[in-house]
Amino acid sequence: MPEQKYVLEKIFQANDNIAAENRYKLDKAGIYSLNLVASPGAGKTSLVECTIKMLKPQFRISVINGDIATRFDTDRAAAVGAQAAQINTGGECHLDAMMVKTALNDLSLAGVDLLIIENVGNLVCPASFKLGTHCMVVVASVPEGDDKPYKYPGTYLKADVIILNKIDLLPYVPFNVETFLRGVRILNPNAEVFEVSCLKDLGLDRWSNWLSTKIRSPR
């Protein structure tokens, strides 16, 4: 067991070193970056699409999409105006810093203001691997249930932003917003929280205004 722990520590340290390189590269280019983490179906790609549509009149946006297979989400990001690169993990349940470093080399970073990395759909592994981004965003959704902060505390602890998506379904789904928010506040009282519906265009102005301020802030 001590040997296994040592190996894991070496893996995470190597990943953290590459993540620091990625951050340096992004900072040097003046790019603000997000790591979007969520379970499958929470609405990460829909949020990416809405964010691009709202911000592209002001900012140039690039997207890195991570999936086990296919490039459906990359095509969706490109269709609404972003420069997009695909990472297919071939079975890995998360992105790591080396994957992102390789994808950054496939993008033209000149003039880019915002980089959105859409991680593989999973609420466990992605939280353990730093990518070099400025902000980790956890996307939850009403149909998943209000117990997610309690079931996945490690992920919610590390989040800078938590987005509760699909609030238009609240009248139809047994989801208690206060129960969800109580779990968030217990674990991570300083996290920014946004309640939105990408489908019905609810709450997105507040999210886009917050993100615009972050993009314009010096790094």
Q: What's the topology of domain 2-216?
A: Rossmann fold (3.40.50)
Sign of CA dihedral 21, 102, 122, 219: positive
Contact 140, 164 (CB under 8 A): yes
The pairing of strands 61-67 and 114-118 is parallel
pTM: 0.95
**What single string gives the DSSP state of each residue in 73-142?**
HHHHHHHTT-EEEEEE-TT-SS--HHHHHHHHTTS--TT--EEEEE--S-SSGGGGS--S-SEEEEEEEG
Residue 79: closest CA among 49, 110, 118: 49
Q: Residue 61's CB: how many other CB atoms inside 10 A?
A: 24
Query: pLDDT by residue (tens digit) across 95-128?
Result: 999 999 999 999 999 999 999 999 999 999 999 9
What percent of the chain is modeled with pLDDT above 90?
Answer: 93
Residue 11: pLDDT band (50, 70, 90) is confident
Q: Where along the chain do its domains lie? A: 2-216
Alpha-carbon distance 34 to 131, whole Å?
A: 10
Res 2 pLDDT > 90: no
In a 10 Å sphere around its CB, with 0-12 CB exposed, 13-18 middle and 19+ buried, how is residue 97 labelled? buried
Alpha-carbon radius of gyration of the chain: 17
Mean pLDDT of 53-63: 98
| Mean of per-residue pLDDT scores for the chain | 96
- Residue 12: per-residue pLDDT: 86
Contact 203, 195 (CB under 8 A): yes
- Residue 218: per-residue pLDDT: 84
Alpha-carbon distance 19 to 202, whole Å?
A: 34
- Residue 32: per-residue pLDDT: 98
Residue 3: pLDDT band (50, 70, 90) is low
